[in-house]
Copies of this chain bind each other. A is one copy, B any other.
Amino acid sequence: MGATKAKRMPREVREQQMMDAAVQTFGRRGYRAASMDDIAELAGVSKPLVYLYLNSKEELFTACIRREAAALLDAVRGAVEPGLPADRQLWAGLAAFFTHTAEHPDGWSVLHRQARTTGEPFAAEVVALRGEVVAFVTGLIGAAARETLAATDRAPDLAERDVAGLAQALVGAAESLAGWANETPGMTAKETAATLMNFAWAGLGNLMDGRGWSPG
């Protein structure tokens, strides 16, 4: 641990070292509790250099959020093969999601725990990320609906709002399970993805058949 202390590295390398240190520190301690001193020390550079490259604590945190968000999105998108059936796509995306969060717990913490609780302007960054994810999932649910309809030749029976709520619930459940899986030894990403698919898929299917649960 601890960055290589070699002097005179090219700017881009130093910058990544600093951001690695920042993600780790922010992710574990939170934005306020993380000090620029901590980050500089962990990065193995002096504080003025951090400011020279990243300008301010706020910009540094924002840069961390964006880097980690992009990495997560790339991982999920890269795992989904467009040609497959919707349920397989969804499963592949979830597996990639759980894999990535397990392999980058500090980055995931920055996105899911810290950025969302630190208020504006950071929460907005995560809202954007989450919006992309929800849209992606919404699209998959819609595709699944269409596939089902095509196979059974029935009329669509899902309001827009229901789909949105379902996507929210699915994403929320995934976020929750990511934290739980990280804390549960022996829980692999694929098992976690299967658990969630089990939980969600049948319900989605029933909904599309118009056989939802109702309090009546």
**Which A residues fall within an 8 A CB radius of B?**
28-33, 87-88, 91, 113-114, 116-119, 162, 165-166, 168-173, 175-177, 179-180, 190, 192, 194-207, 211-215
Residues of B within 8 A of A32 (CB): 30-33
A interface SS class:
helix
A166-B195, A202-B206, A202-B213 are known; give 15 further A-B pairs, CB within 8 A.
A28-B119, A30-B30, A30-B119, A91-B215, A113-B116, A166-B198, A168-B176, A170-B199, A172-B172, A172-B173, A172-B175, A172-B176, A175-B176, A199-B200, A202-B203
- Please give the distance in Å from A7's CB to the nearest CB on chain B: 17
Residues of B within 8 A of A196 (CB): 169
The answer for the CA separation of A172 and B178 in the assembled complex, in Å, is 10
Given A169-B173, A172-B173, A203-B203, check contact A194 B180 (CB 8 Å).
no
The answer for the CA separation of A10 and B119 in the assembled complex, in Å, is 35
Residues of B within 8 A of A179 (CB): 172
Nearest chain-B residue to A186 (Cβ)? B161
